[in-house]
Amino acid sequence: MISRRWIADEVSGRRAVLTGAHAEHLVRVLRAQIGQEYDISNGERIWRGRVTTITPERVEFDLGQEINAKKSANITLVLAIFKFDRMEWAIEKCTELGVTTIVPVIAKRTDSHLAQASANRLERWRRLALQASEQSRRLDTPEIKAPAKLKEVVTLKKMTRILLAESEDQTSIKDVLAHHPAVDDLALAIGPEGGWTDSEVGLFTETGWIAASLGTNILRTETATIAAVAIVTAFAR
């Protein structure tokens, strides 16, 4: 049976701790008991951990044998903010696929109400990403940045930077990946419902991003996001 994995809130020496709501889920929902064993990660390494202390808001582990683990490729997702329920689903699935950083972006076609409310969603997005990381047995959890404006994001320093644009009809994302092998250090930008404006596409291309297409079909933002990340991670492996 595959062991459940937890990304610890604290690691010191040969001890690790889950705290707060993180611990509460293990205690109340999964009914943890002294002596049970789980995989415990600190975001860089993984050990076999044995439960030694349980309180409603704190679970402590002794760390035993280290487990071999491979770190994900360094993939940054620049994601224009869109309807929160669909965006949260995309964040969850992209976390499962291995994205390492997610940058929510306020684009020109981002609904103004969503843009204003996005900062208050940040902690929820981070909790969803943590849960998805543990469920998918990742080594780490993706960093989710605070919402930013596009001009603050386009200068990201990455070996390969890909802009998904509906206006692009010559170059596919697979073409870009085939000719730019640095897939282990890549940024991928996905626009909001309605796509990027011409001026936004111009800003991306002026700063070195490569425009690419996912095909002729018009996809929902969450569909395009998951499809593009899946293609990128397949090339990275």
Partners of 55 in the β-ladder: 58
- Cβ(171)–Cβ(213) below 8 Å: yes
Burial class (CB in 10 A: 0-12, 13-18, 19+), 24: middle
d(CA 90, CA 101): 13
- Cβ(212)–Cβ(172) below 8 Å: yes
Three-state DSSP class for residue 68: coil
**pLDDT of the residue at 4:** 85
**pLDDT of the residue at 237:** 65
Q: Are strands 143-144 and 101-106 parallel, antiparallel or unpaired?
A: parallel
The model carries a pTM of: 0.89
User: Domains in the chain, ordered, with CATH?
Assistant: 5-67 (2.40.240.20), 74-236 (3.40.1280.10)
- Sign of torsion over alpha carbons 41, 42, 48, 51: negative
**pLDDT of the residue at 2:** 65
**Sequential pLDDT tens for the chain (237 residues):** 567 889 999 999 999 999 998 898 888 888 889 999 999 999 889 999 999 999 989 999 999 999 988 777 899 999 999 999 999 999 999 999 999 999 999 999 999 999 999 999 999 999 999 999 999 999 999 999 999 999 999 998 878 899 999 888 889 999 998 887 667 789 999 999 989 999 999 999 999 999 999 988 888 999 999 999 999 988 876
- The HSE-up count of residue 160 (CA atoms within 13 Å, CB side) is 24
What single DSSP character describes residue 172? B
**pLDDT of the residue at 182:** 66
**pLDDT of the residue at 77:** 97
